[in-house]
């Protein structure tokens, strides 16, 4: 079987100007980054701002398992199917982070015949957006430490600096560090740590900003530390909001690329779906909605994390809710939720499928509570048996939702035509009221409780003593009106990654509440949430190479 990179390299890409034209933009409307990538400047976004808005389809999934779900693959395949049907369709995706690419994943731009290209460049530095975010994030850190060094005029408590440095790599040795060692000329010693760049608040800010002015205002509001008097210290206090926004002036423009089948695709921004909201940028999604009749987008991790945050956080900034929600599942993954080991997946096991179906069932019910039609996409694998497929179809149909078997990995858009038909029906159905999970005027505790009990299926929320104090500070500082962003393991509805399928009766403990004033949400940390991944024993990088002509191998 061909690898993803081989399939991608065999495909003849269209010049990006043709892709732009397909999306209604001229060569003058885009900024070229080589022949196959372009940025869309503000002047072009301005030009199309009064266009009617297309329909929005959110692709989300069951809780991920090591068996793989193929959410991006389905997203791309669904768009390619619409494209084959002659629809004016666009994709809006997050961009891959280099850390996981070099570490385990080896690539994150779909798979098989449902990919976004040029995959090598999108997976590596792309148009430099994540690097600009790294630089902006670390510049803020340097200004904080410089302020300490230069007499500490802001009265910053060095023990209470919450702003961490970042690298776009998996590097566990940077999780806990001490900086400022080496005597009085080399800074003020303090404990510090690094996150991976996609966990930076700058990433979330860039993805939620609606203009350069909004970007600068969000940056100014970011809380980076507290004073000895426990007052928040912001980027505005450091005096560098303008400089930091300046560093992001190119990164904030959406990037245009294409699928293997030539569907115009915007890839822009990639915040984590645990400690951030896990969706591509507002500007990219909005621009796609102005250019296309149908926009397919996805949110990170499962529907409990990225899905919930798309609906309760992103749509509030976007001013648009999805017209349909696609939940992706695989029979393999559901069998793992039913208790099988990854090695046991090649044998038919209907009882395991039935047990694991509980995971899909809860996600379907959750998504329906928002008032939008749900379609289930079953991403088919060669090992799936007819009996298993029939059983899954039967169980899903009993829930009153459409189910479609897709083979986009093997067949591209051709393998998603039935899904496209079912999504078409869904988005063209009668309009229904959209129901947020919570209203913004509820307290932070009430919002967290709504997510835990209504989406996760938990019984109760506990707070650490620290989190209790932080709830009071949030109240005192007037931040209660912000939505909440729960950081939780992606593998389970609960905060325990080993509780698969649809656990209930569990309690969730909030350890820490982090106000992200720039992003505009309160992060609630539950369990151990990894903000800096480590490398495995044999990193994916070991098999990567480049030849004398620049041809790359080893990215999947």
Q: Which of residues 206-245 bind its own copies (CB under 8 A)?
A: 211-213, 216, 239-240, 242-243, 245
Q: What is the nearest approach in angstroms of its own copies to the Cβ of residue 122?
A: 13
Which residue do the tokens 């040795």 mark?
173
Residue environment code for 435-470, b if the CB has 16+ CB neighbours within 10 A, otherwise e: ebbbeeebebbebbbbbbeebbbbeebebeeebeeb
Angle at 268 between CA 263 and CA 269, to 5 degrees: 150
Q: What is the nearest approach in angstroms of its own copies to the Cβ of residue 258?
A: 17
Q: What is the nearest approach in angstroms of its own copies to the Cβ of residue 519?
A: 20
**Binding residue (CB under 8 A) for its own copies from 230, 343, 476, 537:** 537
Q: What is the nearest approach in angstroms of its own copies to the Cβ of residue 205?
A: 14
Q: What is the nearest approach in angstroms of its own copies to the Cβ of residue 25?
A: 15
Q: Report how far residue 94's alpha carbon sits from residue 267's, in angstroms, rounded to the nearest whole number.
A: 5
Toward its own copies, which CB reaches closer, 118 or 483? 118
Q: What is the nearest approach in angstroms of its own copies to the Cβ of residue 143?
A: 7
Q: What is the nearest approach in angstroms of its own copies to the Cβ of residue 517?
A: 20
**Binding residue (CB under 8 A) for its own copies from 48, 104, 177, 514:** 177
Check residue 414 for interaction with its own copies (CB under 8 A): no
Going residue by residue from 112 to 131, which x/- string records binding to its own copies, judged by CB under 8 A? Answer: ---------x--xx-xx--x
Going residue by residue from 179 to 198, which x/- string records binding to its own copies, judged by CB under 8 A? Answer: xxxx--xxxx----------
Q: Is 96 annotated as a binding residue?
A: no
Q: Is 41 annotated as a binding residue?
A: no
Report phi then psi at 340, rounded to 5. Answer: -80, 155
Q: Report how far residue 516's alpha carbon sits from residue 371's, in angstroms, rounded to the nearest whole number.
A: 28
Q: Report how far residue 58's alpha carbon sits from residue 43's, in angstroms, rounded to the nearest whole number.
A: 27
Cβ pair 372, 440 in contact under 8 A = no
Q: What is the nearest approach in angstroms of its own copies to the Cβ of residue 196?
A: 11
Toward its own copies, which CB reaches closer, 10 or 548? 548
Toward its own copies, which CB reaches closer, 459 or 551? 551
Q: Is 67 annotated as a binding residue?
A: yes
Q: Which stretch binds its own copies (CB under 8 A): 110-118, 279-287, 463-471, 540-548?
A: 540-548
* Cα–Cα separations (whole angstroms), residue 300 to 36, 303, 309, 427: 26, 8, 9, 22
Residue of 146, 305, 149, 286 whose CA lies nearest to 211: 286
Judged by DSSP in three states, 508 sits in: strand
* Cα–Cα separations (whole angstroms), residue 367 to 102, 286, 306, 362, 482: 34, 22, 12, 9, 22
Burial of 554 (0-12, 13-18, 19+ CB in 10 A): middle
Going residue by residue from 131 to 170, which x/- string records binding to its own copies, judged by CB under 8 A? Answer: xx-xx--xx-xxx-xx-xxx--------------x-xxxx
Find how far residue 490's CA is from the centre of its chain: 12
Looking at the DSSP assignment, which residues form a beta bridge with residue 484?
522
Q: Report how far residue 525's alpha carbon sits from residue 514's, in angstroms, rounded to the nearest whole number.
A: 8
Toward its own copies, which CB reaches closer, 390 or 542? 542
Going residue by residue from 48 to 67, which x/- string records binding to its own copies, judged by CB under 8 A? Answer: --------------------
Q: Report how far residue 49's alpha carbon sits from residue 30's, in angstroms, rounded to the nearest whole number.
A: 16
Q: Report how far residue 279's alpha carbon sits from residue 300's, in angstroms, rounded to the nearest whole number.
A: 6
Cβ pair 256, 20 in contact under 8 A = yes
Q: Is 10 annotated as a binding residue?
A: no
Toward its own copies, which CB reaches closer, 173 or 459? 173
**Binding residue (CB under 8 A) for its own copies from 155, 178, 347, 369:** 178
Which residue do the tokens 């209604």 mark?
24
Compute the chain's Rg from CA coordinates.
23
Going residue by residue from 465 to 494, which x/- string records binding to its own copies, judged by CB under 8 A? Answer: ------------------------------
**Binding residue (CB under 8 A) for its own copies from 49, 249, 435, 460:** 249
Q: What is the nearest approach in angstroms of its own copies to the Cβ of residue 120?
A: 8
Looking at residues 16 to 45 of the shown chain, list those that interact with its own copies (rule: CB under 8 A): 31-35, 39, 42
Toward its own copies, which CB reaches closer, 240 or 358? 240
Toward its own copies, which CB reaches closer, 233 or 427? 233
Q: What is the nearest approach in angstroms of its own copies to the Cβ of residue 145?
A: 4
Check residue 455 for interaction with its own copies (CB under 8 A): no
Q: Which stretch binds its own copies (CB under 8 A): 257-265, 290-298, 336-344, 538-546?
A: 538-546
Residue of 167, 154, 149 whose CA lies nearest to 102: 167
Find how far residue 232's CA is from the centre of its chain: 28
Q: Is 394 annotated as a binding residue?
A: no
- Characterize the bridge pairing of strands 38-39 and 255-259: antiparallel
Which residue do the tokens 């994916």 mark?
540
Looking at the DSSP assignment, which residues form a beta bridge with residue 195?
166
* Cα–Cα separations (whole angstroms), residue 228 to 158, 190, 458, 492: 9, 15, 38, 39
Q: Is 71 annotated as a binding residue?
A: yes
Toward its own copies, which CB reaches closer, 81 or 130? 130
Q: Report how far residue 10's alpha carbon sits from residue 368's, in angstroms, rounded to the nearest whole number.
A: 41
- The count of chain residues that interact with its own copies, using the rule CB under 8 A, is 77
Query: Which helix (H) or strand (E) covers residue 138, if one does?
Result: helix 129-149
Cβ pair 196, 99 in contact under 8 A = yes
Looking at residues 96 to 115 of the shown chain, list those that interact with its own copies (rule: CB under 8 A): 98, 102
**Binding residue (CB under 8 A) for its own copies from 47, 389, 541, 556:** 541
Toward its own copies, which CB reaches closer, 152 or 385? 152
Looking at residues 262 to 321 of the shown chain, list those that interact with its own copies (rule: CB under 8 A): none
- Characterize the bridge pairing of strands 165-167 and 38-39: unpaired
Toward its own copies, which CB reaches closer, 68 or 534? 534
Known binding-site residue numbers for ATP: 65-72
Known binding-site residue numbers: 65-72
């Amino acid at each position: 079987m061909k690898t993803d990179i081989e399939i991608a390299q065999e495909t003849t890409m269209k010049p990006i100007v043709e892709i732009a034209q397909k999306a209604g933009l001229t060569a003058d409307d885009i900024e070229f980054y080589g022949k196959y990538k372009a940025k869309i400047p503000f002047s072009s976004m301005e030009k199309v701002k009064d266009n009617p808005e297309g329909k929005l389809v959110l692709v989300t999934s069951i809780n991920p398992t090591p068996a793989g779900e193929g959410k991006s693959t389905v997203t791309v395949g669904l768009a390619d199917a619409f494209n084959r049907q002659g629809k004016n369709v666009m994709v809006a995706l997050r961009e891959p982070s280099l850390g996981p690419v070099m570490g385990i994943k080896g690539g994150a731009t779909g798979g098989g015949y449902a990919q976004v290209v040029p995959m090598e460049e999108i997976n590596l530095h792309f148009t430099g957006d994540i690097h600009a975010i790294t630089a902006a994030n670390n510049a803020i850190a340097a200004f904080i430490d410089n302020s300490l060094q230069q007499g500490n005029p802001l009265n910053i408590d060095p023990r209470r600096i919450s702003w961490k440095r970042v690298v776009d790599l998996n590097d566990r040795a940077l999780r806990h560090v001490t900086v400022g060692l080496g005597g009085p000329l080399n800074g003020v010693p303090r404990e510090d740590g690094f996150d991976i760049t996609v966990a930076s608040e700058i990433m979330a800010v860039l993805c939620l900003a609606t203009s350069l002015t909004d970007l600068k205002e969000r940056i100014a509001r970011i809380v980076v530390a507290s004073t000895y008097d426990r007052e928040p210290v912001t980027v505005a206090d450091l005096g560098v909001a303008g400089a930091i926004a300046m560093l992001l002036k190119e990164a904030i423009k959406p990037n245009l690329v294409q699928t293997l089948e030539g569907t115009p695709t915007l890839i822009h921004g990639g915040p984590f779906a645990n400690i951030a909201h896990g969706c591509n940028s507002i500007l990219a999604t909005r621009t796609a909605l102005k250019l296309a009749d149908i926009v397919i987008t996805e949110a990170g991790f499962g529907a409990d994390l990225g899905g919930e945050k798309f609906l309760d956080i992103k749509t509030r900034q976007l001013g648009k809710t999805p017209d349909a929600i696609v939940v992706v599942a695989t029979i393999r993954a559901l069998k793992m939720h039913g208790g099988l080991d990854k090695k046991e997946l090649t044998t038919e096991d209907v009882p395991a499928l039935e047990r694991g179906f509980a995971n899909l069932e809860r996600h379907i019910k959750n998504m329906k509570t928002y008032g939008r039609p749900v379609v289930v996409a079953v991403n088919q694998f060669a090992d799936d048996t007819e009996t298993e497929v029939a059983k899954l179809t039967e169980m899903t149909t009993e829930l009153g939702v459409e189910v479609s078997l897709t083979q986009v990995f093997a067949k591209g858009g051709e393998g998603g035509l039935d899904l496209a038909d079912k999504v078409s029906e869904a988005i063209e159905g009668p309009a229904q009221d959209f129901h947020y999970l919570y209203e913004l005027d509820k307290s932070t505790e009430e919002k967290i409780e709504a997510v835990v009990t209504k989406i996760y299926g938990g019984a109760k929320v506990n707070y650490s003593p620290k989190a209790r104090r932080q709830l009071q500070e949030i109240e005192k500082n007037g931040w209660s009106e912000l939505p909440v962003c729960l950081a939780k393991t992606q593998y389970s509805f609960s905060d325990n990654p080993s509780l698969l399928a649809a656990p209930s009766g569990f309690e969730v403990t909030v350890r820490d509440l982090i106000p992200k004033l720039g992003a505009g949400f309160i992060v609630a940390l539950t369990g151990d949430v990894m903000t800096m991944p480590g490398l495995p024993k044999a990193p994916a990088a070991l098999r990567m190479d480049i030849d004398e002509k620049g041809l790359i191998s080893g990215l999947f």
